[in-house]
Amino acid sequence: MFDTSSFITESIADLKSSIDDTAIIACSGGVDSTVAAVIANNAVGDKLHCVYVDTGLMRKNETQEIQKMLGELGLNLTTVFAEERYLEALKDVTEPEHKRKVIGELFIRIFEEEQSKVGAKYLVQGTIAPDWIESGGGVRDTIKSHHNVGGLPDDMTLEIVEPLRDLYKDEVRDLARALEIKVADRQPFPGPGLAVRCLGPLTLERVHVVREACAIVEEELELAASEGKMDLPWQYFAALLPVRSVGVHGDVRAYGETVVVRAVTSLDGMSAKYSEIPHDVLAKISTRITNTVKGAVNRVVYDITHKPPGTIEWE
């Protein structure tokens, strides 16, 4: 059994002794970075500057919700709006590993800019064990270069501090509960955000489509779970595939793309089973998606692949 209170006490003591100067932390609003920020804030207080980067690749209304939540936790927060920079950097990038590297690198560059503003020496990160294991840590093969790991350039000037690097997701969620962080039961969201759910070219329009589709999947599955029709999956979202098919809207021919709905049960994200979703719920999701983004999406499919062999995200 993971002992949250001794982990918190020990990591606060560790951070107190290892952080002797100004530190900066990347807050994404996810469980991992929020827990790392609250622990670091407890350890070093006003030496810690929290930076939230709005990459333009966040879920619907996420930036406002995150700003509110982090503000309420008493963190010293700066928001950097960087949507245009991300879209520009990702223009013409479609290969998943390349995408992750570009995103990781820009993320670090932005932090370096913020670092020079506050004179930070340390970068605290919410990296957890699956991030570095799947990024080729130890003897394992590189499956995906996780954001926070694979994107680090060689010439980086900040010293990295990773208080959660030996923990798994369920342990971080336990910590969040122990620290009374509201984020505790949020589903995981990948560091590179909607970029890894938007296969093919990343444009403002396509990111908008996948953002709307993800919001619909979240709303409908949360509703179905609250009505007792199914258990809420561990993670559930939509991805946009650059696969076009012929459809018809009214009596007009359409040639739109495909949305895939993904919902899985898992303990820690290392392995997963696809979730069984009642057909009426899937049908409602499909109708809502095709009605909301008329013309852009013609077809909605459900992913019935376990991990392994599939990963949870499509990229």
Site residues (vs ligand XMP, CB under 6 A)? 131, 134, 144, 146-147, 188, 190-192, 235, 269, 307, 311-313
The pair phi, psi for residue 81, each rounded to 5°, is: -90, 110
Radius of gyration of the chain (CA): 20
CA angle (181, 120, 85) in 5-degree steps:
80
In the complex with ligand XMP, the residue whose CB is nearer, 57 or 296, is 57
In the complex with ligand XMP, the residue whose CB is nearer, 39 or 239, is 239
- Least distance from C-beta 122 to ligand XMP, angstroms? 20
**Nearest C-alpha neighbor of 94 from the set 242, 284, 294, 270:** 242
DSSP 68: H
**Nearest C-alpha neighbor of 221 from the set 237, 197, 209:** 237
Alpha-carbon span 241 to 199, nearest angstrom: 5
In the complex with ligand XMP, the residue whose CB is nearer, 29 or 256, is 29
Q: Per the structure block, which two tokens stand in for 163?
A: 């208080």
Using an 8 Å Cβ cutoff, are 118 and 166 in contact? no
In the complex with ligand XMP, the residue whose CB is nearer, 213 or 296, is 213
Using an 8 Å Cβ cutoff, are 96 and 315 in contact? yes
Alpha-carbon span 244 to 247, nearest angstrom: 9
In the complex with ligand XMP, the residue whose CB is nearer, 148 or 298, is 148
In the complex with ligand XMP, the residue whose CB is nearer, 144 or 206, is 144
- Residue 42 burial by CB count (10 A; 0-12/13-18/19+): exposed, middle or buried? middle
- Least distance from C-beta 293 to ligand XMP, angstroms? 22
- Least distance from C-beta 234 to ligand XMP, angstroms? 8
- Least distance from C-beta 38 to ligand XMP, angstroms? 17
Using an 8 Å Cβ cutoff, are 43 and 15 in contact? yes
